[in-house]
Structure 1
C-alpha cells in the first residue's frame, strides 16, 4: 500500500468527516486517478499562503486543510508575537465558494489557542484586510481568496502584523509549525457559540470601511477647490463579480465624480464569474461588457478590478478612438508621473518609488527626472510591503509601488497592492488630463516622447510533471553556467544572478553583491536600457521570460522586442530538446 492510500484510508475511516466531503469521497472511490490526485500530496503552503481546488483530500482546499494551516499559524503567533492572544487576528474573505466558511474555521482554530478573531461581517477586498490589520493592530491577518483563479479554486493568504504578506523568512517559520501537525482531521476547534461566549470572535462592521475611506480621500492630489467641484467625467466600472463595488463607488463619490456607471451584470458577487472566461483584468476580454457600456455612454475611462480587488485594469480611448486596455507598466508609469508632478518638494526629498525587477524601466526614468530614487524588489508585492516597513525607520519616503501584473499602491495605509486606491486615483488622473485636452494615451505618448519608447513583453514555456520540472531546472542551470554574451545581436553588459546574489559585469569582469533575498532568477542587462529576465513560476509548471526594450519610436521598440523574444524562445527550446547552442 502506497503512502497516499494510507492517507486516504485515514480519511475514509474518520467517522466525523464533514458530510459534504464524505459524499464527494464516496463519489471518487471508483476513480483511482482522481483519488490519488486528491491524496498524493499535501496542499503546499508557500510565501503567499496556500491555494488549490476545493474538495476532499490533503491536496485540496477544505475545512481540514484550512484548520491545519491555521493551527500552524496559531502556534507560531503564540511563540513569536507579543500579546498575540489579546491582539488577535483579522480575517476577511471574498466571493468564492466556501470563503466565509473557511474564515469561520480559521477563527475556530485560533480560538482553541485563546487567540481572538476579528472577521468582516461581509465579503471585503484583500487591501481592506491589510488595512484592518494595521487599524486594529492585530498580530496577523488571514485573507480567504484565490484571487483571479478559476471558480473551483480557493486559498488562504497570511499577513504579518505590519499588514504585509508574509515573506519567506516568516513563511518558513509558519511552515515548520504546520509540519508539526500530525493529523489535519483532529486539529482542535471551538464552536462558534463558544467563541462568542468567551469573547474570542468579533465581527467587523462599518468602522473599518469608514476609516479607510477617510484615508482614501486624503490621497487626492487635487486642490480643495477642485476636490469639491462636481466632476462629470464619464466613467464605467466593473468589479468583475468581486468585492470592490461598494468601496470603489464610495471612493469616487467622495471626490464628487457624478457620472459613474457600474456594469450591472457584473456588479453582484458571483463565485462562478459567469459573464467572463477569466475574472482577471490582465485578460483584456474581461473588459468586453465594460467596453460595450463605455461605447453606449461615451465613457472617458473604464475601470476593472479582479475578484479580491487587489489588481486594477484601465481602458481608455486610443488615437483611433477605440478603447484600449493599458498594460500594467503603462498605467504604473502614468501614476508615477501624476503623483510626482503633484507632490510638494518635501515629499520628494528622500522619496522612493518601488517596483519589481521585471517591471518597466520607464518608471525609473520618470522618477529620476524628479530626483526620486527607484528601488527594485523581487517579484511579488510582499517584497514591496517589506521595503515600506523598512522605510519607517530609515527616513526614506515611500511615494508609489507597482508591478507589471496590474498591482499598484499609492499610499502605505495598506501594505499590499490596492485596486480601490488605484481605481479612484485613475479616475482623478483621467479627469486631470481631460482638463488639459488629453486622454490617458495622449499623456502616455508625451512620456514616450520625453523618455524614450519603453516596451515590455513576456513569453512562457509550460513543462508539466516531474520531467518538466527537470527541464526547467536544466534551462536555468545551463544559462547560469554558460551565460550569454549577446541576445539577438544586442550585447549583454551584465548578468544578475539572484540565486547567487551577485551581478557580474561582462565589460570589466567585476562583481557586485545583490542585496535581495535569494531566488532562482537570472536577468541579462543589455545595451540601451534593454533587458531579459528568466524566472520559473512558483505556482505553475512553467518558466517565464520577461523582456524590456527602449528605442526612439514604437516601431523600433516593437521590432527589438520581437527579435529578443524570438532569440530567447529559440535558446530555451534548444536547451529543452538537447540541442543546446548557447555560447
Structure 2
C-alpha cells in the first residue's frame, strides 16, 4: 500500500506541477469503480456487478450486510425464530448464501439453509411456513451474468419494509467491513446444529399451496392427450418445480417438452444474451422445438423463477411473445370467469396491480364487480395491500414486469404458479377450439385496444446514479405542458402526492405518495410514467396508449418516446 500513500502525498503537495498532478489522478481513476461508493441497502436489498470493492457484490459486502441484518434481528429479539436462506443458479450464489449463513450462525441466530437452489416464491413461502423473522435470497433476478444480488424478506414473506431497511442500512454504515463482522465456518455450524439444512421434501408443502390456486382443476384432463408445451428455465431455479407442477395438474410428462441446453444450471447463461423471459431471443431454442413438435405454448422463467414470459401460437401457426400486461389481463379475466362459474369467487373479491400496469385490468374488474387496487411498483406493495384489506377475498396480483401471484401462501411473484395457470388457461381455451391469441383478441374486442410498453433510458459511467437523479429532478422542476405536441391534462407527482391540473392550476392530493414517480395524463387519453430504478442507473418510462389498433398506437408511441427521451 506504500505506493498509494506516496501517490496521495504527491497529489496533496501544493507545489506539484499541475500536469503531473493530473497524470497521477488519472492513474488512480480505475480504482474508483471499486471504491468510489458503497452499494445502497434498500427495501430491494443489494444488487451489483460481482467484483472486489465496496461498490460491488462480493463475499465481504454480503457478510457486512448480513451482520447489519443480524443486528436488527437481535434488536427485535428474533434469534429463535431465525432466518431462512435460498439462492439461484448465478455464479457465486451458493458461496454468498453460505457466507450469509455463517454470519447469522456466529450471531446465534437460528438459520435454515436450502441444500439446493430454490426460487424466490418458495423462499417467501418458507419464511411464512417456518415462522421465521426474515429470509435471504441470493439472486439478481434476470440481470446479466456479471450481476448478483441480496434480497431480504421479513416475517410476512414480503420484501423488507422501509423502516427495517433503513435500520439495516444504518447498521451496515456503522460496521467496519472486516473488523466488525462475526463469522463461523459453514460446515462446522451445520455440524453443531446452528445451521439447519432443508431438503427437497419441503417442496411438497409448497406444491400443495400452488395447486390450490387452480381456477378450473377439471380442464387439463380434457386435452391432456393432445396439448403440448415447451418449457425453459433459462438455466435457472425453475428447472425442477415448473415441470413437476405441470405434471401434477394433469399434463402428460411426454407432452411437457424442455430445452435440454437450458435445463443445465449455469450462471454464465451461455445460450442467451440475458436470462430474461421478456426477450423474444430467450425463446430461440424453445421456438425450434415448438415448431418441430407443433406445440400450443412456450413458457420461460428467469433464474430465480419469480418472472414468467410466454410465446403463444397464432391461428396461422406463427409464434409471438406477449407482454406482461397482456398475460396479466388474460390471467385476471380467466380467474374471475372460471372461479365465478365454479362458485369459488369471493363475494368481495379484489385484485391488486402496480400503477404502471395496464388499465385494461381496471376495466375487466369494473365490469365483473371486482375491486382493483393500484399500488406502487414492487411486489412488496401488493403484499402490503393484501395485509391491509385481508387475505380472504384476494384473488390475483400482478406487475407488468412479468410477475404474478394468486393465493396468499407467499408475498412475492411466483413464476411456478404463473406457468401453471397460463398452461391451465391455454388448455381451457383449447377445449373451446380457441387459442390464447384468440382469447387476447376477444379481450380487445370487449374492452377496447390499449397499447402498453416501456422504454429504458440508461445512464453510463461513474456518475450514472447522480445523472439519473438529476434527470428526474429536472423533469420535476420543469413540468411540460405539452409532450410531442399533445397537451398534458394533469401531472401526478407521487413523491409528494400532489396532482396538478395543468389546465386550471388546481392541486389535489393523490391516494399514494412517497415514491419517486411522475405520472402524466395526456389530453387524448394516454398516460406516460417516469420511474427511476431502485437497483440500476436507469429511468423507465411506461406508456399506456388507447387507440383503434396497434398501428395507430405505435405511431403515437414513437412520438411520445422521442419527446420524453430528449427530456430525460
TM-score of the two chains, using structure 1 as the length reference: 0.88
1:504 to 472, 497, 500: 500
Aligned pairs, how many? 546
Contact between 1:67 and 1:184, CA under 8 Å: does it hold in 2?
Answer: no
Alignment match of 2:382 (pick from 374, 381, 384): 384
Aligned to 1:488: 484
Pair 1:257–1:52, CA change in 2 (3 A): same
**Aligned counterpart, 1:214:** 208
Distance 1:167 1:319, change over 3 A: farther
Deviation string for 1:226-254 (max 9, x for gaps)?
A: 65884531110000100111111110011
Structure 2 residue aligned with 1:329: 325
Q: Where do residues 6-405 of structure 1 align in structure 2 (5 Å cutoff)? A: 32-80=28-76, 82=77, 84-224=78-218, 230-258=224-252, 259-344=255-340, 347-392=345-390, 397-405=393-401
Question: Distance in 2 between the 1:223 and 1:470 partners?
Answer: 51
Once structures 1 and 2 are overlaid, which stretch shifts more, 330-339 or 458-467?
Answer: 458-467
- Partners of 2:4 and 2:378 lie apart in 1 by 36
Contact 1:301/1:316 (CA < 8 Å) preserved in 2?
yes
1:473-509 alpha-carbon deviations (Å, 9 max, x no partner): 4443343234333333443332110111122234554
What secondary structure sits across from 2:339 in the alignment?
Answer: coil
Shift in alpha-carbon separation, 1:132–1:517, aligned structure 2, 3 A: farther
| SS of alignment partner, residue 549 of structure 1 | strand
Aligned partners of 1:228 and 1:255 also within 8 Å: no
The alpha carbon displacement at 1:567 in A equals: 3.1
Distance change (3 Å), C-alpha of 1:293 and 1:450: same
Which SS does the other structure have where 1:66 is aligned? helix
Deviations 1:84-121, CA, capped at 9 Å, x for gaps: 11111010011112211211111111112210111111
Deviation readout 1:391-431 (Å, 9 max, x if unpaired): 33xx7722111111111112221110110000011100100
Q: Note if contact 2:222-2:431 (Cα within 8 Å) is conserved in structure 1.
A: no
Per-residue deviation, 1:279: 0.7
Which segments of 5 or more consecutive residues in structure 2 lack a partner in the other structure?
9-26
CA distance in 2, matches of 1:312, 1:225: 22
With over 3 angstroms needed to count, the CA separation of the structure-2 counterparts of 1:478 and 1:149, relative to structure 1, is: closer
Query: Comparing 138-147 with 36-45, which one deviates more in the overlay?
Result: 36-45
Note the C-alpha offset of 1:307. Answer: 0.6
Kept in 1, the 8 Å contact 2:46–2:535? The answer is no
Give the number of the structure with larger relative contact order, counting CA–CA contacts within 8 Å between residues 6 or more apart: 2
For 1:542 and 1:229, the matched residues in 2 are separated by: 45
In 2, Cα distance between equivalents of 1:221 and 1:116:
38
* 1:361 and 1:529 in contact (8 A); partners too: no
How far apart, in 2, do the equivalents of 1:118 and 1:506 lie? 54
For residues 273 and 343 of structure 1, what CA distance do their matches in structure 2 show? 39
- SS of 2:79's partner is helix
What SS is found at the alignment partner of 2:80? helix
- Equivalent residue for 2:432? 436
Match of 2:14 in 1: none
Contact 1:61–1:154, Cα closer than 8 Å, also in 2: yes
More moved, 107-116 vs 228-237? 228-237
Q: Is it true that 1:448 corresponds to 2:440 in the alignment?
A: no
Q: State the 1:154 CA deviation.
A: 1.7
| 2:400 is equivalent to residue 425 of structure 1 | no
Q: Within 2, Cα distance between the matches of 1:261 and 1:369?
A: 38
Question: Does the Cα contact within 8 Å between 1:498 and 1:518 map onto a contact in 2?
Answer: yes
Structure 1 distance, partners of 2:177, 2:565, is 45
Corresponding residue number in structure 1 for 2:559: 563
Distance 1:191 1:463 in 2: 40
- Asked if the contact 2:60–2:177 (Cα under 8 Å) also holds between the matched residues in 1, the reply is no
Rounded to whole Å, the distance in 1 between the matches of 2:426 and 2:414 is 18
Rounded to whole Å, the distance in 2 between the matches of 1:558 and 1:429 is 29
Choose 462-471 or 401-410, whichever is displaced more.
462-471
Aligned CA-pair RMSD: 2.6
Give the whole-Å Cα distance in 1 for the aligned partners of 2:537 and 2:220.
50
Q: Secondary structure at the match of 1:405?
A: coil
Do the aligned partners of residues 88 and 565 (structure 1) sit closer, same or farther apart at CA in structure 2, a change above 3 Å counting?
Answer: same
Shift of the 228–525 alpha-carbon distance from structure 1 to 2, 3 Å rule, reads: same
> Are residues 469 and 256 of structure 1, via their aligned partners in 2, closer, same or farther at CA, if it must alter by over 3 Å?
closer
Cα distance 1:77–1:137, how it changes in 2: closer, same or farther (>3 A)?
Answer: same
CA contact (8 A) 1:340 1:348 kept: no
- For residues 161-220 of structure 1, give each alpha carbon's deviation from its aligned partner in whole angstroms, at most 9, with x where no partner exists: 100111322211111111221233551112235423543211111332000111122111
Deviation of 1:37 (Å): 2.1
TM-score, normalised by the number of residues in structure 2 = 0.90
Contact 1:465 1:541 in 2 (8 A): no
Q: For the residues of structure 2 that align with 1:467 and 1:200, how far apart are their CA atoms?
A: 43
Which range is displaced more, 348-357 or 493-502? 348-357
Q: What is the rounded CA distance, in whole Å, between the counterparts of 1:175 and 1:131 in structure 2?
A: 25
Does the CA contact (< 8 Å) of 1:524 and 1:532 recur in 2?
Answer: yes
Q: Which digits, 9 at most, give the CA deviation of each residue in 1:229-282, with x for residues without a partner? A: 845311100001001111111100111101110111111211111111111111
Q: Distance in 2 between the 1:5 and 1:171 partners?
A: 35
Q: Judge conservation of contact 2:220–2:249 (CA < 8 Å) in 1.
A: no
Give the SS at the match of 1:91: strand
In 2: Cα distance, 1:130 partner to 1:76 partner: 19
